[in-house]
Structure 1
Amino acid sequence: MTNNTTPRPVDANSLFVVSGGARGITANCVVGMARRFRCGFILLGRSAAGEPPAFVAECPDEPALMQRIAKELAARGEKATPAVIRRELGTIQAQREIAHTLAEIRAAGGRAEYLSVDIADAAALRSALTDAQTRLGPITGLFHGAGVLADRRIEQKRAADFDAVFTPKIIGLRNLLACLAPADLHHLILFSSAAGFYGNPGQSDYAMANEILNRVAHLIQRDAPACHTVALNWGPWDAGMVTPALKALFAERGIQVIPLDAGVARLVDELEFRAERPPQVLVGSPLAPPPEPYSGPLRTWRIRRRLTQEDNPFLQDHMIGIHAVLPATCGMAWMIHGCEQLLPGYHFARAENYQVLKGIVFDESLAPEYVLTIRETERDATAGTLTLEATVSSEGEKRPRYHYRARLILRHGRRAAAPQIEQMDLRERQPTPGAELYAKGTLFHGPRFRGVEHVLSSDANGLTMRCQMPEVSDRDQGQFPVRSFDPYLADVQFQSLVIWAWQHHGAASLPLSNAVGELYATPQPGATFYVTMKVRSNSDYRMLADLIAHDADGRIYLRLEGAEVAISQHLNRLFNPAAA
């Protein structure tokens, strides 16, 4: 089959191939999926299936089971050495787990079959899956949960350790994808690890293998967007490979283990497909504490970037006239995220005196490259803050051209709790649909920036809007991805100024500056939020206002104080050429 549409929801007709799916945590997950979706599974594992021998029936206690195995070996005239007993015990326990998992899936309303096959054996795997599809029908999903640990510090690692870890994770996935092309699937779930995201002592090979899974997820989402692909970067579970000793070690490091039921519920939630889910999700506590505040000399960085319209698909929806224009909020995001990436452990808290000095237009004036300069100016150890001056510039004919400038304050540790808006009125008073404003050219923005649902009320003192968070895919965000600061949310806030200027001056406007910006939280894509705008001053050419994005209870997401726009009748034809 070929899947050219958006991913289908998981339902009773779905059939998943699951590597490592008959035992351990993965088995618990497929049982949870069966309870929720009543779907089907082809479980893959190296253990041989079969009924446990009669002599171990009704013997759950491991020491008693080992005694029975020893007696059975002696009765057969074989040496009951500890190694032989352990091998027999492992086989019997595997058979029991497989049988239990199959029974649990069927009791939950799903259907399941177990195939004993090594996913590292490409030929055997292809033969097994070809036969299974002939009998069971088309496979719609792949759940890659196989994995092995071989923990040692890197100087003690052996080639055999590396092979043991990489073979099921990476060679196994390569062979599975050779049999099941992502373009033919609706769902691809990769069980990765937070060790791949953070690193972890003794797990260099395991971290590398899981980071490869993460990169594969990003690649497949790009190349096969109709397949819902995600790499779940799990922290340690309260089960499986986490022994009591490891659990105690995690507790000492402040790392919480994931309860089994909570982890299964998180997986099921991921499969309740909603559009534009990220291809990589981190679940659980960080495996490492945030870096300590830096205490060395003040530093300066210069970071170069080449901009193209092709690399930033969102620009198609930010055209003024015939040219794409970089949103002013993307200039802010550029500086904020540059600082946060350079300063691990710090997060953006406040911006002061943000200026749009010369906007970036994607025409013949576009520079070959742009330079983000970040300079530390002050460090407050007591408050845990850093103050930085940030500019974006390019080379002009005789001197640098400056495009954006701001003073940024970053804070170490947790983000401050969101305050409540002091005055809020969400009543509808002659509301105006946002769709009407976009259609008539009051707002020039295309679909990715169309966050205004309704202007609820508007008067000489300001306006209030109900909005919906724009859902811009990771691919469309290009070089300006959403991180702590969401430029698409901030752009919707600024649209309140554009609307008010049209209503009271009959003219278009563009942002010039913002005196203060404070970030507390960011709503999820698709979430409803509100913008309350209060006018400070205005003339025929300038307008100054305060903007607050908040939720229905008044909890503030982003506060912008002293936001200024230039108002000009000459911009009207660029916003709405048809009306010129």
Structure 2
Amino acid sequence: MTATVQINPSSVFVVSGGAKGITAQCTIKLAQQQPCKFILLGRSELIAEPEFARDCLEDAALKKRIMENLISQGEKPTPMMVQKIFNQITSSREIKNTLAAIEATGAKAEYISVDVTDTVKLKEKLNNVIQKTGAVTGIIHGAGNLADKLIEKKTEQDFEKVYTAKVQGLENLLSCIKPEQLEHLVLFSSVTGFYGNIGQTDYAIANEILNKSAHLIKQQHPQCHVVAINWGGWDSGMMTTELKKAFVERGIGIIPVEIGAQMLVNELHPAYKNDTQVVIGSPMKPPASSLGTELRSYRIRRRMTLVENPFLHDHTIAGTPVLPATCAKSWMVNGCEEIYPGYRYLSCKEFKVLKGITFNETLAQEHILELQEVAKSDGDFVEFQTKILSKNAQGKTHYHFSSLIRLVRQMPEAPIYQEMDLTEDHLITKTGKEFYQNGGLSLFHGVSFQGFTKVLNATPEKLTAECCWQEISAQQQGQFPVKWHNPYIIDLSTQTLWLWLNHFHQEVCLPGQLTFSEQYLAVPFNIPFYVSCEIKNKTDTGATANFIIHNRQGQIYSRITAAKAVIWPMKAINN
């Protein structure tokens, strides 16, 4: 059910953390769009401005006056004493400015000094104000704390400080305000909860609980517009010059305050798409790890089953589910990338299918991914020799796949495919699902690997197809999730050789070796892209081809060169 309730002058919002910082700016923007009533919650006390501080707006001058006032009272001022009084004055000023800015729009605003983790005081103070404002119709939960440290340095107190403000704060708000009376519930979460971030394990946990809470509350109260906004970094006072520089180096975008505040307003508009969880901002990419000088080796073990990997039912040969070679490559790529965050897969050499993995009685209890570093240069690249192997009940080792994977710190610019040809010759007239219908030489792939829209043109030397791969669920992807490398789209791209063989030679094939492949950009899904298959050689037993995945302007996402395929008997392919 989609919430359609419009905010109106009688709407009453409780906003935790709403008197200062980013949450205050969002509240002001909301009041400008639709003046209503706001109850702002914050831990800071609202104090009367001391006489000595009036009209003193410069930080240095204000601190000087604080020192002079302390001395005049016979005190010996310390930096800590001065800073404490300075914080009280500037905090009160910010709260008063927020209240004034809200009321300047024609809206009404009340401020309550209370800690949202204190259930008793929160309930008591809220009830007193609600008697003036009327029943609360919306909550914006923006309160939060930080205690950034590496996990081994975090204390129990650090965790409690961060966790309770987010999670206990939400529970307390919902214990004071019945969820069934709410028309809007907005939770300020973070991309840290969605992507993770170094030094913020507690913050990530707390925000991910907010994300899951949003989904649960929406299920229980479908009449309420519930949204958890996973914010990225804001260009605010907390965003220091040093932090900005670090974000830029990591490729993390920063949200301008005006734009971010408007995005909150958009999320509360009934005409806007009502998603229960949205991400606004860039992924929290970790800084590049140091490669060191020693060439290391790693072993990653995995137990693979059909139950855990439903997509395998869409890749069966002779009635038996078979692991696609592109999924094996994806495991290799992801395994390498996880070792060195900040480095990304660029190329793969000599990928070989040595012995396929079939999901029948021969399936091993576990498979092992071996990664051996063969070359690296810190801040530049690292190269791995990779192998996937297993052992049978007798202890005999079987090697299934091997390759040489290269990760780089900086991706090169995506090249342009100069030989692109998108003209249509209507030689192959099948479209969409017709490519995968049973019978004849149709493709055997199930929905997880389907995506042909149409063949644009085909000659004895080349075939170009328009494709659109529809994203499958995380559950369907199982142990082979789409990340930078998309094994389902790469498999789809190689099916162009199958189509070419079907049409010109009435034959089929299976992959043998991907001599060289590289990726410059993530291949988009749910929107069209193009695959150009260049035939380099064809014999009775095999074929060699290039596969170029590109957009309509010729920009190359990914390409495979000199791929070798084995011509296969039809009876071995058909189910």
TM-score, with structure 1 as normaliser: 0.74
1:334 aligns with 2:339: no
Deviation at 1:263, TM superposition (A): 4.1
Give the aligned partner of residue 371 of structure 1. Answer: 368
Q: In 1, distance between residues paired with 2:283 and 2:556?
A: 26
1:338 and 1:10, CA in 2 relative to 1: closer, same or farther beyond 3 A? farther
Q: Which residue of 1 aligns with 2:202?
A: 209
Are the equivalent residues in 1 in contact too, given 2:299–2:370 (CA < 8 A)? yes
Tell me how far apart the structure 2 counterparts of residues 117 and 448 of structure 1 sit (CA, whole Å): 52
For residues 212 and 273 of structure 2, the distance between their equivalents in structure 1, rounded to whole angstroms, comes to 19
Q: What's the counterpart of residue 247 of structure 1?
A: 241
Give the Cα separation in 1 of the matches to 2:431 and 2:531. Answer: 15
Q: CA deviation at 1:352?
A: 1.4
Deviation at 1:521, TM superposition (A): 0.6
Say which SS state the counterpart of residue 574 (structure 2) adopts: helix
Seq. identity, %: 31
Partner of 1:171: 168
What residue in structure 2 maps to residue 416 of structure 1? 412
| RMSD over equivalenced CA pairs, Å | 5.0
Give the letter aligned to residue 566 of structure 1: I
Other-structure match for 1:290: 288
- What's the offset of the Cα at 1:94? 1.8
Pick closer, same or farther for the CA change 1:155–1:428 going to 2, 3 Å: closer
* Alpha-carbon separation, structure 2, partners of 1:43 and 1:393: 62
**1:22–1:102: 8 Å Cα contact kept in structure 2?**
no
Contact 1:510 1:566 in 2 (8 A): yes
Shift of the alpha carbon at 1:469?
3.7
Is this contact kept in 1: 2:163–2:206, CA < 8 A?
A: no
The alignment partner of 1:283 has SS state of: coil
Which residue of structure 2 aligns with residue 552 of structure 1? 552
Whichever residue aligns with residue 208 of structure 1, its letter is T
Rounded Cα–Cα distance in structure 2 between residues aligned with 1:338 and 1:422: 33
Q: How many residues align?
A: 536
Residue 526 to residue 51, structure 1, CA distance change in 2 (3 Å): farther
Aligned-pair CA distance for 1:169: 2.5
- Contact 2:162 2:202 survives alignment (8 Å): yes
Are the equivalent residues in 1 in contact too, given 2:375–2:384 (CA < 8 A)?
no
Matched, 1:302 2:299: yes
Q: Contact 1:221/1:279 (CA < 8 Å) preserved in 2?
A: no
Letter in 1 for 2:431: P
2:501 touches 2:507 (CA, 8 Å); kept in 1?
A: yes
| DSSP 3-state at the match of 1:167 | helix
CA shift at 1:88, angstroms?
6.9
Among candidates 380, 405, 409, match of residue 384 of structure 1: 380
Q: 1:398-409 alignment to 2 at 5 Å? A: 398=394, 399-409=396-406
CA separation of 1:86 and 1:402: change in aligned 2, threshold 3 A: closer
Q: What is the CA-CA distance between 1:290 and the residue it aligns to?
A: 1.7
- Any idea what the Cα deviations from partners look like across 1:469-523, whole Å, max 9, x if unmatched? 4323334322112222111221220221222233234444432321111111113
Is 1:361 the equivalent of 2:355?
no
The aligned amino acid for 1:97 is T
Q: Summarize deviations over 1:504-554 as a string: whole Å, max 9, x none.
A: 344444323211111111133323211111112234543321110001111
Give the gaps of 5 or more residues in structure 2: 67-80, 220-224
**Counterpart amino acid of residue 282 in structure 2:** V
SS in 1 for 2:557: strand
Q: Deviations over 1:187-212 (max 9, x none)?
A: 75513559994435xxxxxx233121
Residue identity opposite 2:571 in structure 1: H
2:495 aligned with 1:529: no
Aligned residues of 1:51 and 1:96 also touching (Cα < 8 A): no
Mapped to 1, the partners of 2:544 and 2:201 lie a distance apart of: 51
CA distance in 1, matches of 2:185, 2:356: 42
- The answer to which of 118-127 and 348-357 deviates more is 118-127
Cα contact 1:502–1:508 (8 A) shared by 2: yes
Alignment of structure 1 residues 541-580 onto 2, 5 Å: 541-563=541-563, 564-571=565-572, 573-574=574-575
CA distance in 2, matches of 1:503, 1:15: 67
Q: Which amino acid aligns with 1:199?
A: I
| CA distance 1:89–1:275, change in 2 (3 Å) | closer
Q: Is the 8 A contact 1:467 1:531 kept in 2?
A: yes
Asked if the contact 1:469–1:523 (Cα under 8 Å) also holds between the matched residues in 2, the reply is: no
Question: Hey, what does 1:21 align to over in structure 2?
Answer: 18
Give 1:428's match in structure 2, choosing from 424, 428, 449. 424
- Given the superposition, is the C-alpha separation of residues 88 and 9 from structure 1 closer, same or farther in structure 2, using an over 3 Å criterion? same
Verify: 1:396 aligned to 2:395, yes or no. Answer: no
Letter in 1 for 2:293: S
Q: Do the aligned residues in 2 keep the contact of 1:318 with 1:444 (CA within 8 Å)? A: yes
Moved more, 119-128 or 9-18: 9-18
Deviations 1:121-141 (A, max 9, x none): 446768969x98x976976xx
Equivalence for 2:75: none
Alignment of 1:448-463 (within 5 A): 448-463=448-463
CA shift in 2, pair 1:161/1:516, >3 Å = closer
1: CA distance, partners of 2:454 / 2:372? 41
Contact 1:428 1:456 (8 Å CA) reproduced: yes
1:191 aligns with 2:190: yes
Alpha-carbon distance in 1 for matches of 2:360, 2:275: 31
Q: Is the 8 A contact 1:66 1:89 kept in 2?
A: no
C-alpha distance after superposition, 1:197-240 (max 9, x if no partner): 4435xxxxxx23312135436756997997987663633x3324
Q: 1:555 to 1:217 in 2, by over 3 A?
A: farther
Q: Is the partner of 2:398 in helix, strand or coil?
A: strand
- DSSP-derived class of the 1:465 partner: strand
